[in-house]
Chains A and B, each alone.
Chain A
Amino acid sequence: MVEKAITGEKRAFMTGNEAVAWAALAAEAEIMYGYPITPQNEIMHYWTRLAPKYGRKFLQTEDEISAGFTTCGGVLAGKRAFTATAGPGNILMQEAMSMAEMLRIPTVVVVQQRGGPSTATVIYSQQETTLTCFGGNGEGLRIVYSTSSHQELFDYTIKAFQIAWKYRFPTFVLGDGYQAKMRESLYLYNPEEKGIPLAEPYPFLGQEGRPGVEREPSHLRNTYNTEEELYQIISRYVEDYERMTPEVVEYQASDFEDAEIVLIAHGIVSRAARAAVKALRSEGLKVGYFRPITLRPFPVGKLREIAPKAKKLVVAESAQGQLFKLVQEALYGETVPLEPYFKPGLGITSEELVEFIMF
């Protein structure tokens, strides 16, 4: 059994990457596979320092294709395995995650978004939203948590393991370079002591007993011979996903009851949005706030409840409309106008949002 990394609750002041490494320890992750890329590197750096003390493992792979597939292997072997990446690495990671979707492998991937397309910047963006939600040649059957603070990076990294193993869909924690590199205070805790369940892993392969004699062999495939066969499998997966949706979907919403304008943002931009709403309210403006925490599955129901009451929705993001598309899709058929505030690859402050909405 792995040794407990955290007992009790500890106040800490650290970077988001460090918080992720501690969260993975607290979630009793057993092995990390990874390939260097900024701004994710320090997750590996902290992990490699901490892991041996608690009997955990690490493998530095030759690229993110390999990091993704070795993570699949670790999970198939029955371990809480994870990896972390960003930008161009996230692109390479998608191949393995499409296999994870097909074989229902509960991988956990932490993404610290950087600028795109291409190598772009190593700093910050929200441009990996579409890729993380829908990367791969499939239907986006995955869970994506978009965090906005170090506390959430810690909380949702722990949760990602539990949810991934419970529902068997690949699960992503979508952070960004700001969250990765900033220092912020948070509470580290032992999830079990708080009654938060841990993932319950089991091997998909390599169980005890002679296959074909004492038990059936596990034969896992991702190739099918006929259209009908595949259609049946995917339909079952989609059904599972839809059944799961009300149980995992998460959002924050406030000040929307009387709101004329609702400001929508995700991730770290939602902090600017929340501060802007507060400031605008104190000016007497009726502005509400909505933030999807799960981008996949998207909190469609709540948004559809809030939106028609408003005169206008403003979608603010550090990308050219990736959240906007999700909102648009969720609101199909509604007539409330959507106004974009797009800053691809650039941070967004509460002041500029206040100004944008006031004038």
Chain B
Amino acid sequence: MAIVPNMPRSWRVETKPHKFCPGCGHGLVLKALGEAIDELDIQDRVVFGCDIGCSLLAWDFFNVDIVQTHHGRTTPVMTGIKRARPDRICIAYMGDGGGYAIGSQHLVNAATRNEKITAILVNNCNYGMTGGQMAPTTLPEMKTETTPYGRDVEETGYPTQGPEMVAAIAREGAYTARGTVANVRQLKNYLKKALQNQLEEKGFSFVEALSGCPTNWSTNAKATWAFLEENMTKYFKVGEVKVPVKEEE
């Protein structure tokens, strides 16, 4: 008997298996997101936007309405939808290049304006889709196609600390956290809280997810997890960075 894998209800079965590389973290982030959508029972209200980057492969991933936008522009598209239709739950899904490089002005300003949307950013330390170039999140000394001798922080700066940056800008009511695909249950909880924050119209919500890119890292399963759990978490601290203050406080 064929074993039917356990998929979130909001996943679109017809488009599975998904299109990410084997061992890619994107699938796990979207699993956590699918479960969060299911548990909050918001499938009817979600509008999902995906960036250009490997996130574009999610354009038919869920049984929710989806629009694929441009590289870095998912945040403004979802902002535009939310402003026009405040009753929708708008999710902007992007990579670290999309969110921290080409679209950083949109992330910063959406946070500043406390847009009532949820941004989810997959940090895989490189530009995955274009073949493994340096991203704003590439670790010091890390080799990529455009840093073949390792990232020189003197020349290219230090990796972006996204949730910390957003937390520093965003007002009270915003939610920011960093999860990891190494702990999907925790990541799901962060995503749930982020979406809950939008549901309660408290403010901007932002979750970065540490994620593996075995294809461009050229790592096997063991080395992928080692890099994710050891190297990345040394620099990118997993946990909640900013949570809305409780009303009674």
Q: Is A27 an interface residue (CB 8 A)?
A: no
Q: Is A63 an interface residue (CB 8 A)?
A: yes
Q: Is A219 an interface residue (CB 8 A)?
A: yes
Q: Is A30 an interface residue (CB 8 A)?
A: yes
Q: Please determine whether A61 and B84 come into contact, CB atoms closer than 8 angstroms.
A: no
- B36-58 with Cβ < 8 A to chain A: 43-45, 47, 52, 56
Q: Which of B72-80, B138-146, B209-217 contacts A (4 or more CB under 8 A)?
A: B72-80
- B182-211 with Cβ < 8 A to chain A: none
Interface residues on A, range: 35 or more
- Indicate whether A62 sits within 8 Å of B105 (C-beta atoms), given known contacts A205-B47, A218-B65: yes
Q: Is A212 an interface residue (CB 8 A)?
A: yes
Residues on B with beta carbons closer than 8 Å to the beta carbon of A337:
none
Q: Is B66 an interface residue (CB 8 A)?
A: yes
Q: Please determine whether A65 and B64 come into contact, CB atoms closer than 8 angstroms.
A: no
CA distance A30 to B66 in the complex (A): 23
- A311-331 with Cβ < 8 A to chain B: none
Nearest residue in B to A207 (C-beta to C-beta)? Answer: B65
Residues on A with beta carbons closer than 8 Å to the beta carbon of B18:
none
Most chain A Cβ neighbours within 10 Å, of B77, B79, B82: B77
Residues on B with beta carbons closer than 8 Å to the beta carbon of A99:
69-70, 73
Quick one: CB contact mask for A204-236 with B, threshold 8 Å, 1 for yes?
Answer: 111111111100011111110000000000000
Nearest residue in A to B112 (C-beta to C-beta)? Answer: A62
- Indicate whether A61 sits within 8 Å of B68 (C-beta atoms), given known contacts A205-B81, A223-B56: no
Q: Please determine whether B68 and A220 come into contact, CB atoms closer than 8 angstroms.
A: yes
- Indicate whether A77 sits within 8 Å of B81 (C-beta atoms), given known contacts A66-B106, A69-B73, A69-B76: yes
Q: Please determine whether A66 and B63 come into contact, CB atoms closer than 8 angstroms.
A: no
Q: Is B12 an interface residue (CB 8 A)?
A: yes
Residues on A with beta carbons closer than 8 Å to the beta carbon of B43:
210-211
Residues on A with beta carbons closer than 8 Å to the beta carbon of B26:
none
CA distance A74 to B81 in the complex (A): 5
Most chain A Cβ neighbours within 10 Å, of B12, B83, B105, B106: B83
**Considering only CB atoms and an 8 Å cut-off, how many residues of chain B contact the other chain?**
34
Residues on A with beta carbons closer than 8 Å to the beta carbon of B79:
59, 61, 66, 70, 73
Q: Please determine whether A210 and B73 come into contact, CB atoms closer than 8 angstroms.
A: no
Q: Please determine whether A211 and B76 come into contact, CB atoms closer than 8 angstroms.
A: no
Q: Please determine whether A96 and B52 come into contact, CB atoms closer than 8 angstroms.
A: no
CA distance A99 to B81 in the complex (A): 15
Whole-angstrom distance from the CB of A267 to the nearest CB of chain B? Answer: 29
Most chain A Cβ neighbours within 10 Å, of B44, B76, B106, B108: B76
Residues on A with beta carbons closer than 8 Å to the beta carbon of B84:
30-31, 57, 73-74, 77-79, 81
Whole-angstrom distance from the CB of B164 to the nearest CB of chain A? Answer: 20
Q: Please determine whether A96 and B73 come into contact, CB atoms closer than 8 angstroms.
A: yes
Q: Is A71 an interface residue (CB 8 A)?
A: yes
Residues on B with beta carbons closer than 8 Å to the beta carbon of A77:
47, 80-81, 84-85, 88
- Indicate whether A73 sits within 8 Å of B76 (C-beta atoms), given known contacts A31-B83, A62-B106, A95-B70: yes
Q: Please determine whether B59 and A76 come into contact, CB atoms closer than 8 angstroms.
A: no
Residues on A with beta carbons closer than 8 Å to the beta carbon of B106:
62, 65-66
Q: Is A103 an interface residue (CB 8 A)?
A: yes
List the 4 shortest-distance A-B pairs measured between CB atoms, nearest first.
A73-B80, A212-B63, A70-B80, A62-B109
State the B residues within 8 Å of A (CB).
12, 43-45, 47, 52, 56, 59-60, 62-70, 73, 76-85, 88, 105-106, 108-109
**25 pairs from A and B in contact (CB 8 Å cutoff):** A31-B84, A69-B70, A70-B77, A72-B69, A72-B80, A76-B80, A78-B84, A79-B84, A81-B84, A96-B73, A99-B70, A205-B47, A205-B65, A206-B65, A206-B85, A206-B88, A209-B44, A211-B62, A211-B63, A217-B65, A218-B67, A219-B59, A220-B66, A221-B68, A223-B56
